[in-house]
């Protein structure tokens, strides 16, 4: 089956700046795919290339096997979404805006307007001019506009940005429901909690490059095996633990080390034999946020983010 | 929010230029700027007629075709109005929409909204060109009609003296006025094409509107320099006088034909350039 999104070697330069640097992406059918990166990492530029809005300097992007640059609007069949904030005509009503985009879609899109408005809870304000809409209402109208295309692939660029907490919650619920109905979703975001909550696969980008691509669960599992230890005598405990695992880190209130379960048990026995009491032994898995910062922020050692270090 | 029912896309007839054109007209209808243009097209002939009516000296605009007959027949009013409208009024009203129609959408980000639907880029461009030309035609028709109707009500629909000195009855005067307006539409449509080009390549509405007007005024300045008289037949400003050939007996087709190909020399490359830019551009606005 053809992947909903397949991008290979995408490069986009603006003068001296390389906004997107050899980006490869593969989004499979049914994925809720997080495209995660700090502001300026090239996320929006990548999405614009996927939708055929801008031309890559190198590489290609295919949606369900079709290249928007070569095949034009036909390549976007079954694809919908928005990049940056969805934009509409402020002097037209919400409904009129949807009628406009529906007429530019054809194929019965007009018949889906009422349902789409209902889906995003905008039916009551549909006859008001978009110029009077709040940011959140425009975001929801953007989703409604996307739903008119009855998409199999939905590309959303930071859909919760600027929304209040209730709006963010509602937007996430909506995305989850759409995904549950079988829609493939590419969600660009810099909000870790949002990606962790919604996505099953992620690409983490920084400075235009993909730093990690794969299953979110695997990424987080790769950080398992870290333990935090607090004892009645941390100095002596550090010596004992170091004899077993080699590398022990001093933290603000105790120790931390990497070990498997059997080795951790061996350390607890050794500490007991040395009459050192264990006040806490906590297995830790890094959060996506911790991994994200480790990957995207330059390390003191070499000035570059390192994936290997991040997943240690 | 409630759940949406998501259907698979089905084979369907795709929308094209007609859908874009229809919505471009609806968008124009919904914008105040459109009515400002129409209001000016109504107001200027009315002010002209009012000024003539209030002037007891019997004077009128000098050195313009048909200016001697403005108090003899209402048919002279729109013809004189066409002459002075070419200086900057009608090019400005044309540029108001043509210079804005692409740049505004790029700036506001709505271009990406319509370019991620099921219409091709060239459909969008063609729809915008047709809408800009439709607006231009509407402004011209309003401008001429108001002058003709109100001028006729004030001074009557009496026979008109042509530029050859012959008298023609009201029916023929009406036909020739309509034909002259049609001929006048050629250079005005060319101004629209230049506006569309600037709107597309500058991505800035103000720059495109002002730039279009400046191109028009620049040609008038060149036309006023006697040392450059050799260029006159090829200037856009000269083509705004071609309609006068229709108001001769017999009709002088030479300026009309020259106007057609000279306008084409300006308009077609402008539209071709604009289309090429539009098809290949990176849509980054909004």
What is the value of ipTM here, to two decimals? 0.88
> Which residues, in sequence order, are CB contacts of B260 under 8 Å at separation 6+?
B186
Question: Strand pairing partners for A214?
Answer: A202
**Residues of chain B neighbouring A87 (CB-CB closer than 8 A):** 108-110, 112-113, 286
User: pLDDT tens digit string along A208-262?
Assistant: 888 888 888 888 777 777 888 999 999 999 999 999 988 898 888 899 988 888 8
> Which residues, in sequence order, are CB contacts of B143 under 8 Å at separation 6+?
B41, B42, B44, B45, B78, B81, B82, B85, B90
Neighbours of B278 (CB within 10 A): 25
Q: Which of A66, A73, A142 to mutate to test the interface with B (most CBs of B within 10 A)?
A: A73
Identity of the residue in A54, A86, A177 whose CB atom sits nearest the CB atom of B282: A54
**Residues of chain B neighbouring A76 (CB-CB closer than 8 A):** 116-118
Judge: B4–A181 Cβ closer than 8 Å, yes or no. yes
Q: Is the pLDDT of residue B85 over 80?
A: yes
Please check whether residue A30 is in contact with residue A184, taking contact to mean a CB–CB distance below 8 angstroms: yes
Q: Is the pLDDT of residue B8 over 50?
A: no
Percent of chain A with pLDDT over 90: 58
Find out whether the peptide bond into B250 is cis, omega within 30 degrees of 0.
yes
Q: Sorting pLDDT into bands at 50, 70 and 90, what band is B275?
A: very high
Neighbours of A261 (CB within 10 A): 10
* Cβ-based burial of A133 (10 A; exposed 0-12, middle 13-18, buried ≥19): buried
DSSP B166: -
Show the tokens assigned to A5: 């999104």
Judge: A72–B121 Cβ closer than 8 Å, yes or no. yes
- Alpha-carbon distance A111 to A129, whole Å? 21
The predicted pLDDT at position B286 comes to: 67
Instruction: Detail the DSSP E strand segments found in chain A.
Output: 5-14, 17-27, 32-36, 58-63, 79-82, 153-157, 184-189, 201-206, 209-215, 226-231, 248-250, 255-258, 278-284
Judge: B119–A170 Cβ closer than 8 Å, yes or no. no
Q: Is the pLDDT of residue A308 over 50?
A: no
Give the lowest-confidence range in A242-251, A293-302, B270-279.
A293-302
Q: Is the pLDDT of residue A27 over 90?
A: yes
User: pLDDT tens digit string along A42-51?
Assistant: 899 999 999 9
Give the lowest-confidence range in A117-131, A295-309, B200-214.
A295-309
Averaged pLDDT, A259-286 = 90
The owner of tokens 């995904």 is A179
Residue A79 to chain B, least CA–CA distance (Å) = 9
Q: Note the Cα B192 to chain centre separation in Å.
A: 6
Q: How many CB pairs under 8 A join A and B?
A: 141
Q: How many angstroms separate the Cα of B197 from the Cα of each of A135, B165, B268? A: 33, 41, 10
The predicted pLDDT at position A162 comes to: 77
Identity of the residue in B6, B120, B286 whose CB atom sits nearest the CB atom of A181: B6
The owner of tokens 């425009």 is A138
Judge: A145–B113 Cβ closer than 8 Å, yes or no. yes
How many residues are given for chain A?
A: 312
Q: Sorting pLDDT into bands at 50, 70 and 90, what band is A118?
A: very high
DSSP A129: B
The predicted pLDDT at position A212 comes to: 87
Q: Sorting pLDDT into bands at 50, 70 and 90, what band is B64?
A: confident
């Amino acid at each position: 089956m053809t992947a909903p999104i397949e991008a290979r070697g995408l490069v986009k330069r603006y003068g001296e700046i390389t906004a997107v640097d050899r980006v490869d992406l593969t989004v499979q059918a049914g994925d809720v795919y997080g495209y995660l990166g700090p502001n300026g990492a090239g996320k929006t530029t990548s999405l614009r290339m996927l939708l055929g809005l801008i031309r890559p300097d190198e590489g290609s992007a295919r949606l369900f096997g079709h290249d928007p640059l070569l095949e034009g609007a036909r390549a976007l069949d079954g694809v919908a979404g928005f990049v940056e904030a969805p934009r509409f005509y402020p002097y037209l009503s919400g409904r009129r805006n949807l009628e406009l985009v529906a007429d530019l879609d054809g194929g019965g899109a007009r018949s889906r307007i009422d349902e789409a408005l209902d889906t995003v809870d905008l039916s009551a304000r549909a006859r008001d001019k978009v110029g009077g809409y709040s940011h959140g209402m425009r975001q929801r109208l953007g989703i409604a506009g996307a739903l008119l295309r009855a998409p199999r692939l939905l590309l959303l660029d930071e859909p919760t940005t600027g929304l209040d907490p209730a709006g963010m919650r509602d937007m996430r619920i909506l995305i989850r429901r759409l995904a549950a109905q079988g829609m493939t979703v590419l969600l660009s975001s810099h909000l870790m909690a949002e990606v962790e909550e919604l996505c099953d696969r992620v690409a983490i980008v920084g400075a235009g490059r993909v730093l990690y691509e794969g299953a979110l669960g695997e990424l987080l599992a790769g950080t398992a095996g870290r333990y935090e230890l607090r004892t009645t005598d941390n100095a002596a405990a550090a010596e004992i633990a170091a004899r077993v695992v080699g590398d022990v880190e001093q933290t603000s209130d105790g120790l931390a080390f990497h070990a498997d379960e059997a080795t951790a048990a061996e350390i607890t026995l050794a500490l007991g034999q040395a009459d050192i009491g264990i006040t806490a032994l906590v297995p830790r898995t890094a959060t996506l946020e911790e991994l994200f910062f480790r990957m995207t922020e330059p390390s003191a050692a070499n000035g570059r983010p390192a994936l290997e270090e991040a997943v240690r | 929010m409630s759940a949406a029912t998501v259907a698979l896309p089905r084979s369907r007839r795709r929308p094209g230029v007609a859908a874009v054109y229809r919505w471009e007209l609806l968008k124009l209808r919904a914008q105040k700027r459109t009515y400002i243009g129409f209001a000016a097209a109504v107001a200027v002939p009315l002010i002209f007629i009012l000024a003539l009516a209030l002037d007891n000296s019997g004077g009128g605009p000098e050195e313009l075709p048909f200016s001697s007959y403005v108090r003899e027949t209402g048919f002279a009013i729109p013809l004189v109005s066409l002459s002075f409208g070419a200086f900057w009024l009608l090019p400005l009203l044309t540029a108001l929409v043509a210079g804005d129609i692409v740049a505004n959408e790029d700036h506001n980000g709505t271009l990406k909204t319509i370019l991620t639907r099921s219409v091709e880029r060239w459909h969008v461009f063609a729809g915008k060109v047709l809408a800009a030309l439709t607006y231009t035609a509407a402004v011209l028709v309003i401008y001429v009609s108001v002058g003709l109707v109100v001028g006729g009500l004030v001074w009557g629909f009496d026979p008109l003296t042509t530029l050859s000195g012959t008298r023609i009855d009201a029916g023929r005067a009406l036909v020739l006025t309509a034909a002259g307006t049609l001929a006048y539409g050629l250079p005005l449509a060319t101004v629209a094409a230049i506006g569309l080009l600037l709107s597309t390549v500058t991505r800035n509405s103000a720059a495109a509107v002002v730039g279009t007007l400046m191109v028009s005024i620049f040609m008038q300045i060149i036309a006023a320099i006697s040392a450059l008289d050799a260029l006159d037949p090829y200037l856009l400003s000269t083509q705004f006088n071609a309609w006068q050939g229709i108001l001769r007996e017999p009709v002088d087709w030479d300026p009309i034909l020259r106007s057609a190909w000279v306008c084409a020399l300006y308009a077609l490359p402008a539209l071709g350039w604009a289309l090429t830019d539009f098809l290949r551009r990176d849509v980054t606005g909004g």
